[in-house]
Structure 1
Amino acid sequence: MDQKDWILIKTLHEEKNITRTAERLYVSQPSLSYRLKNLEEEFGVSLFFKTKKGIEFTSEGEHLVRYAENMWKQLQETKDSIRNMSETVTGTLRLGVSSNFAQHKLPKILKQFSLHYPNVQFSVNTGWSTQVMNLLDSSRVHVGILRGNYPWNGEKSLLTKERLCLISKKEIAIDDLPNLPYINYKTDTSLKDLIQDWWHDKFSEPPFVAMEVDRQETAKEMVKNDLGFAILPEICLHSSDNLYTYGLSYRDESPLLRNTWLMYDPSYLNLSVVKAFIDFLKLSEK
């Protein structure tokens, strides 16, 4: 096995599908199937089997996946260490970032960081915070920026606190919310739980959900067209939206806040590119 095989095995394990794996790796399906067949011949065992949904791994295949992931991790750590030997801050910074932070704040941060450290490249993965946690746990990223509260055994630093807000096209009374159309959207569990906890604190009856949409931006557009109200993090809102905005609080008048955390394995501070980015991020968010 070589580096290409490690990537192939890792990707196939993630996708569980030959077609999607071939698309991600920019290879043809026949050449991918041929390489998988050669791997089975090399080890003398069946590594995979087909199902109605795609591909599953045998116990021997799962063992090979763990080997491939470990070898890939060692290779990345070796590359990082070699690049770190230079006095210049250089190398590839691997980031896992929650979608909202990535959309509204990350581009400006990376631009400013690049001006200070032009020899740094970025490998960025964005998604829900639960997905970023998986990237951190598997050491696929150096640094994670997550929204919400998640357990983490490494270093964890609070970057920001922001208010959750109710938005509407027309002025409304908070006490009337159970009778008004609510526009709900898909999001990670931590935000969903935070909103639900606030609702249960304020009301004894459930919201009248008029719409279920896939994204926060879609929900905001529905509100702009006076189709209901929504509850969004402050980071998503702008004065140009021309909406009524209500900062939410619990019954005891404490504000409804969402935290954004910086998380990383402290051993990565030995890499100059990681240390430089963490120092820069903490300073820029003050």
Structure 2
Amino acid sequence: MENRDWLILHELYQHNNITKAAQSLYLSQPALTKRIRQIEKDFGIQLVHRGSRGVQFTPQGEYLAKCAEDMLIRLQAIKDHVASMEDRVSGTLRLGVSSYFTRYKLPGLLKAFKTAYPDVEFQVMTGWSKDVYKLVYNHEVHIGFVRGNYSWRGGKHLLFDETICVVSAEEISLADLPHLARIDYQTDDLLKAVIENWWTDNYTQPPLVGMEVDKAETCREMVASGLGYAILPRFILNGNNNLHTIDLTDSSGAPILRKTWMFYHEESLDLNVVKAFVQFIEQMEMEGSV
């Protein structure tokens, strides 16, 4: 059983498809099939059943695939530890980052960190904050940047918070919202729940949704064109001063805030590259550069 075989099992289990697994591994289908047969021979089992809808793992194959995830994490931890035994800051820093933070904040931060530590490389995985949270929790990344109030018992640092606001091209009144066309967009479950709870606390009828789009940025542009109002985190407005905004507030009149966090496991600070990056971000936050 070679180290790459664990990766093969992991990718095949993720995709349940020989073609897609081969593509993700940059292997030909015959080469991948050959390695699968060799794994089956080594363990004396059948890993998968093939059908028209892809592959189905046998109980033995599913067990090995789950072991593969643990093995890959362990192998990466060994590599990280070996790299951290040197005095200098080097190696690969694995980051999980929410999509919005990736687009507006991450490039500048990585450029500045790379300038300070030129021997560091990056592996960045992006997605919804809930997915990034899982990546950090499962030790698949060293550090995660998430937006929202997630429960986390490990190391964490509040980077900034932002208000959530009603956004429109023309000035409108909150009292008129139930009768105005709203533009909705795909977002993470926590933000969606905050907006829905605010709405039900203030109105007895559902919003009049006139359009649904895939991204908050697209929603912002539709609002700017006068096609309706939206409820967006202020960060998404990206300095657009031509739009009218009204911050959401709770029953006491306090603004409803969405927080952006840096999460990591405390034991990860034993790695030079992780410790240096956490300290770097904390310093940048103190200087107001995040």
TM-score class, shorter-chain normalisation, is: over 0.9
* Helix, strand or coil at the partner of 1:187: coil
| More displaced 10-residue stretch of structure 1: 44-53 or 131-140 | 44-53
Distance 1:178 1:13, change over 3 A: same
- List 4+ stretches of structure 1 deviating above 6 A: none
**Equivalent position of 1:92 in the other structure:** 92
**Equivalent position of 1:125 in the other structure:** 125
Asked if 2 retains the 8 angstrom alpha-carbon contact of 1:202 and 1:250, the reply is no
**Equivalent position of 1:146 in the other structure:** 146
Could you tell me how far 1:157 is from its partner in structure 2? 2.5
Aligned partner of 1:260: which letter?
A: T
TM-score by length of 1: 0.95
Gaps of 5+ in 1: none
Deviations along 1:26-48, one digit per CA (max 9) or x if unpaired, are 22222222222222222121212
Asked if 2 retains the 8 angstrom alpha-carbon contact of 1:202 and 1:251, the reply is no
TM-score by length of 2: 0.94
Aligned partner of 1:225: which letter?
A: S
Asked if 2 retains the 8 angstrom alpha-carbon contact of 1:97 and 1:127, the reply is yes
Q: What is the number of residues matched between the two proteins? A: 286
* Helix, strand or coil at the partner of 2:32: helix
Query: Are 2:249 and 1:244 aligned?
Result: no
Could you tell me how far 1:241 is from its partner in structure 2? 6.1
Asked if 2 retains the 8 angstrom alpha-carbon contact of 1:96 and 1:125, the reply is yes
CA distance in 1, matches of 2:267, 2:186: 35
Could you tell me how far 1:158 is from its partner in structure 2? 1.9
Aligned partner of 1:137: which letter?
A: Y
CA distance in 2, matches of 1:259, 1:140: 23
CA distance in 2, matches of 1:239, 1:74: 44
* Helix, strand or coil at the partner of 2:88: coil
* Helix, strand or coil at the partner of 1:239: coil
**Equivalent position of 1:79 in the other structure:** 79
Deviations along 1:40-74, one digit per CA (max 9) or x if unpaired, are 22212121223553223222112111222222122
Query: Are 2:272 and 1:269 aligned?
Result: no
Aligned partner of 2:165: which letter?
A: C
* Helix, strand or coil at the partner of 2:219: helix
CA distance in 1, matches of 2:4, 2:123: 19
* Helix, strand or coil at the partner of 1:221: helix
**Equivalent position of 2:37 in the other structure:** 37
Aligned CA-pair RMSD: 1.5
CA distance in 1, matches of 2:241, 2:25: 40
- Aligned pairs for 1:47-126 (under 5 A) are 47-126=47-126
Distance 1:266 1:239, change over 3 A: closer
Could you tell me how far 1:143 is from its partner in structure 2? 0.7
Query: Are 2:231 and 1:231 aligned?
Result: yes
Could you tell me how far 1:240 is from its partner in structure 2? 3.9
Aligned partner of 2:164: which letter?
A: L
CA distance in 2, matches of 1:51, 1:224: 50
Deviations along 1:120-152, one digit per CA (max 9) or x if unpaired, are 111110100111122112211011111112223
CA distance in 2, matches of 1:121, 1:110: 10
**Equivalent position of 2:176 in the other structure:** 176
CA distance in 2, matches of 1:188, 1:96: 15
Aligned partner of 2:244: which letter?
A: Y
